[in-house]
Amino acid sequence: MESINKRIDALLKIRQEGMYNYSKCTRELIDMGVKIGHKNTGDLTIPGVFEPYLEKYNKSNMEFEWEVMDKDGTILKQFDGDIQHSFKDIKLDSMQSIAFISNFNWPTDNKEHRVIVRLNWETGLFELMNGFAPAEVREELCSNPPVGIKKLILFTRKRFSSTYGEVNEKYPEFFPMKDEFLYYNRFVIEYEVEGGWNKIAIIDPTGIISLFEK
User: Measured between alpha carbons, how far is 66 from 87 in angstroms, rounded to an integer?
Assistant: 10
Is residue 3 very low, low, confident or very high in pLDDT (cuts 50, 70, 90)?
confident
User: Measured between alpha carbons, how far is 117 from 75 in angstroms, rounded to an integer?
Assistant: 16
User: Which domain does 46 fall in, by range?
Assistant: 33-210
- Is 109 within the bounds of a domain? yes
Angle value at C-alpha 69, between 101 and 158, nearest 5 degrees: 40
pLDDT tens, 108-151? 776 777 889 999 999 999 999 888 899 999 999 999 988 889 99
CA nearest neighbour of 156 among 113, 203, 89, 95: 203
- Is 195 within the bounds of a domain? yes
Q: Write down the mean pLDDT value for the chain.
A: 83
- Is 95 within the bounds of a domain? yes
Share of the chain above pLDDT 70, in %: 80
Q: Residue 28: phi, psi to the nearest 5?
A: -70, -40
| Domains contained in the chain, number | 1
- Is 180 within the bounds of a domain? yes
pLDDT of residue 158: 87
- Is 111 within the bounds of a domain? yes
pLDDT tens, 46-99? 666 555 665 655 556 688 899 999 999 999 999 888 888 999 999 999 999 999
Angstrom CA distances, 186 to 12, 18, 69, 173, stand at 39, 30, 22, 37
pTM for this entry:
0.79
- Is 22 within the bounds of a domain? no
- Is 1 within the bounds of a domain? no
Helix (H) or strand (E) holding 173: none
What SS3 state is found at 97? strand
User: Do residues 90 and 76 make contact, with C-beta atoms less than 8 angstroms apart?
Assistant: yes
- Is 66 within the bounds of a domain? yes
Angstrom CA distances, 171 to 174, 176, 187, stand at 6, 10, 41
